[in-house]
Structure 1
Amino acid sequence: METPLSTSGNLPPKPGGRAPLALSGLDFKLLRVFKAVVEAGGFSAAQNELNVGLAAISKQISDLEIRIGMRLCTRGREGFCLTEEGKQVYQASIDLFASVDSFRDKLSSAQNELIGDLSIGVIDNTVSDVNSPLVAALRTLNESAPKVRLRLHAAQLDEVERGVVEGRLIMGVVPVYQKREEFDYFALYEERSQAYCAAGHVLFAVPDSEMDANVLRQHQVVNHRYAVHGAKANFVDYDNVGASASQVEAVAMLILTGRFVGFLPQHYAEPLVREGKLRALRPDLINLSTPFNVILRHNSPRSPLVKAFAEALGVDLKVMA
């Protein structure tokens, strides 16, 4: 159905002294659509998140542009791209909905009821780690606060950190290689990693008794780019890096070629070891321990919802790592 906004033609010229926008329910709806489109990376990618068709999304973004008198994005053969005004409106929408969520949290706290969205960023390929309390904590929160909408985002470390900084994610559950001043860190659990080779590699049949802690230095290694673990230098010659990857699954694929050795989380590699596809190399000598922490934006308000989930995780927000 057409609206006065969608049929009013081209965007009006920017006036010199435009009156402040009085937000209505429609504006909130349009801004939520815009925010979802940006975070999905485009109109087509946002269809599943919004559960509406491409034409409806396009019209709503056009309505918003007409409503606020700005071109927010370009879309076409060259892809989706925010204008400078669009970047400002997107950041303002993050702040707006964070304020709305804060108000709702305080209201629900006064009513002794938790409601709202809980957006959490996690690192992919961690579900098999029995030391992680995340799945149990999600279950606990859903049982105790069924009106809370859980939004779980699996991504690479830098993407999770960026989401927390920008306010798109309330918290992250991440490995910590180097702390950043933008975050407050809270200890959660430790992940154990070992060095592996695959069937077909020259080390696969070599007994542990014939290897020492320097064995990896003699072979091509997969560099896990974001896992900048200081202790790796004790085992790896970085001049002998033969391949690189940014995700655990990609590292495993390269090791499985039989051409490289590399580090993998023990919980991830165990099924492949049982199948006879991988073999741990001197796990008694060559191993790494990586702390996983909850991260929150530094000095951000700790809402009742954040506190409830931290409690479910077994995290004391008064004790930073």
Structure 2
Amino acid sequence: MKSAPFEHHEPTTVDEAVSLLESLDGPTILSGGQSLVPMLRFRLANPDVVVDINGIDSLDYLHEEDGYLRIGALARHADVEDSSLIDETYGSFADVAPLVADPQVRNRGTVVGSVAQADPKGDWGSILLAHDGEVIARGPDGERTIPADEFFLLPYDTTLDDTELITEVRVPTPAPREGSAYHKLKRKTGDYAMAGVAARLVLDDDDVIETARLGMTAVDITNARATDAEAHLEGERPSSELFEEAGGLAAEESNPESDEHGDAGYKERMVDVLAQRALGDAAERAGLVKRRVSQ
């Protein structure tokens, strides 16, 4: 099946794209197209107007600048997967990139596109939440910074305005003793997560947890933080017992639904297990002299 006819625009600057979003009636933005194109093909989506931003070269970047890791709107999943900067410094990013769908999707799909889609089964939203990330959007009134905690509203619904374009997502560069990790359960290659947990820990010089973050995937109506588990971790020294307690709290905070892949109780148990594993890896990457936790 072919898509229904639509009007196609190809801006080459951010200003031109924003102007199109403001002037056109209900346009749909195309970047990687790994969700939109199949929906067009099967006529599950029938936009009258598509604004294709792939010609905006200034949005294709992945680098550190001004205290942030900045990922432009046209950086692909594969760019993260292949980055030596990511591999050396950003554990959770290095973990998640190879787990996104399959190589074909990673070569074309974009990190920002995944965040913008706001699918609760998408991995990048949990990574942003665990890293206190921000979404940078440009609209007719200028640039706006949206904390990840305030971005996701409902499945496929965000606080982004219809006339705004996400230009980048960003997270603070790691503290000296910071570690992060992501663990995910899925049925097979190419599947979305059945459950996933992103963990980030910052330790002080005495191996006490100063900051703890846990972002959860596919177990609530949006990507969500396990704030009770975070509070339980902060001020404590990493240990398998502590992480077991935090995993249990994260499971209690999750709100999964039963489906063909498993019932809600099973998914809660997986949050518990995945949280413990992610916390163990994050603690090790934060530079513990001796690993105190087990998987």
TM-score, length-scaled by structure 1? 0.27
TM-score, length-scaled by structure 2? 0.28
Higher helix share: 1
- Which protein is bigger by CA-based radius of gyration? 1
